[in-house]
């Protein structure tokens, strides 16, 4: 990944960490999950991600004025630059396609959208 500090392709997401989930720019207090990219942990990672999305849908489905689900962001501070760049906790990086494939995110949202009768209109 591209490092915004040293401007090289030397940034990596750590094999273990925390991902915050933002849906339409909103994040719930507990809208985060631990990840571990080891193959043996993959099912757990996906189950945890799905659970967190479902919690959001349950919560958001109670709103009177619901916008369709347009933006889903998976952000993490658990990155490391080979050039040892330092980042502030406010600098977060997208884990989409690195930790969770975009196609899987779309699949999960579609499923939840049907279950909670919410419209999904993802914009990239």
Site residues, Zn ion (CB under 5 A): 3, 5-6, 81, 83, 85
3-state secondary structure at position 36: strand
Residue nearer to Zn ion on the CB measure, 30 or 83: 83
Residue nearer to Zn ion on the CB measure, 5 or 27: 5
**In DSSP terms, which residues pair with 33 in a beta bridge?**
19
Least CB distance to Zn ion at residue 10 (A): 5
What gap in Å lies between CA 61 and CA 63, rounded to an integer? Answer: 5
Residue nearer to Zn ion on the CB measure, 11 or 95: 11
What gap in Å lies between CA 123 and CA 112, rounded to an integer? Answer: 17
């Amino acid at each position: 990944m591209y490092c915004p500090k040293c401007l090289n392709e030397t940034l990596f997401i750590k094999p273990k960490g925390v991902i915050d989930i933002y849906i339409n720019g909103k994040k719930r207090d507990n809208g985060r999950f631990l990840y571990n990219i080891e193959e043996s942990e993959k099912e757990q990672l996906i189950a945890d991600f799905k659970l967190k999305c479902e919690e959001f849908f349950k919560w958001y489905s109670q709103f009177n004025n619901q916008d369709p689900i347009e933006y889903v962001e998976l952000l993490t501070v658990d990155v490391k630059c080979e050039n040892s760049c330092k980042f502030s906790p406010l600098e977060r990086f997208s884990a989409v396609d690195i930790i969770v494939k975009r196609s899987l995110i779309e699949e999960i949202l579609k499923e939840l959208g049907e279950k909670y009768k919410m419209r999904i209109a993802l914009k990239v």
